[in-house]
Structure 1
């Protein structure tokens, strides 16, 4: 299984788990990836309900594990940081203004979509191949 497929499955499972834990339909759950560090672009993750931020979550919470023995965060974070930088350059904005919304296409979570925002302005859809470009 490719890293693209694995990441997509991780996000689909996270949406399902957070929906279940909060007694919500999967369509009501989203995650937002952004950064608050202009230099390293270390990703941070927020859990949203109906597009409203609820709280910051860790990568391990998204994975639904206590400890990431497989080191998935160490593998994914540099690619996500590079994607934030690339989106910043493409959209001529600060890395601090780049937000990537992750959500389910439907209640069955058959597909997970990602949409890029420059601050609050919608920019474009990206796919998981774009996220891991150059790998």
Structure 2
């Protein structure tokens, strides 16, 4: 497996664009391999944000599977990293998924209540009976 990042190629390299989005730019501490990243890029052609979102899900899974530990006065926890990646995930979800309300369309079923429901001529089901 390999890992690479070249900031000078951001204009043309989708891989490097995704790496920048997810913050995986430190060669000494790689978060996801090139082949794994490119798998998600291929899953979402032309949509770096969605590819980045999939990569973040993998990264969160990996980080949370690493246990916290304490040895004497020294302790190490991944809680802040997980919190940061979940925040980034929420931001990317808003950007990629967003909120798409349903379109208002005319009902396709027969109405069961008629207008004038509070009047004496109210009917249910449209048959004229109260």
Name the TM-score class by shorter chain. under 0.3
Structure number with higher relative contact order (C-alpha < 8 Å, ≥ 6 residues apart): 1
TM-score, normalization: structure 2?
0.28
More helix by share: 2
More strand by share: 1
